[in-house]
Amino acid sequence: MSETQEKAPRRGRRAGASNTRDAVLAAAKKSFATDGFAATTIRKIAKDAGVDPALVMQFYQSKDVLFAASLAVSADALNSMADAYEGPIEGLGLRVTRAFIKLWEQKSGDSEALMAMQRAAMSSEVAASQLRDFVQYRLVEVISPKLHGVSDAPLRAGLAAAMLVGVIVSRDIVRVPVVANENQETVIALVGAAIQTILTG
């Protein structure tokens, strides 16, 4: 075999799934930053990363999971909030409130990323726009279908999310003493009752 043949570059798939996954995430970050959440597509990300769109879905399952990953929020974090809507209607508000508050306040990589995302959205219109499109998608496509038989499910889910974000801002960002210093379970119980009414009427 000649020296030229020995040194010829390899063709085909990238060397290693981790390198490919990193390339997809890098392409996604660039696209979300440049085009925003709504205009970014899996096909475009795949093209920019030099891979098949099916491979992007294999790694990240959906565009919202990929967006969350670009912000360093895990798929498990997204799933925990969506999964809280599963199960009987009784106790729905409490489940949703507990999942949301515990996720944001658990002092993990996910909670730190969520806090960073929230702070960025409060100070940057670009970040706010990206987060707005992402939240709208989650409310309409992921959460609302779980509220079976509720005609205005997107609105109810949106108001519940807005209320819960307000609780987090008061407790963990602005740190209003009367709210921030209260026991977490007490807050969950009180807010959960209100969220139950918002979600189910």
pLDDT at residue 102 tops 90:
yes
Which phi and psi (to 5°) does residue 82 adopt? -70, -40
Written as six digits, the tokens of 97 are 């409130």
- Measure the CA–CA gap between 156 and 127, rounded to whole angstroms: 24
**Within this chain, do residues 31 and 104 fall inside the same structural domain, yes or no?**
no
Tally of CB atoms within 10 A around 91: 12
**Within this chain, do residues 135 and 170 fall inside the same structural domain, yes or no?**
yes
Q: What predicted TM-score, i.e. pTM, was given to this entire model?
A: 0.75
pLDDT at residue 107 tops 70:
yes
**Within this chain, do residues 47 and 124 fall inside the same structural domain, yes or no?**
no
Question: Which residue range is the domain that position 181 belongs to?
Answer: 75-200
**Within this chain, do residues 178 and 117 fall inside the same structural domain, yes or no?**
yes
pLDDT at residue 122 tops 90:
no
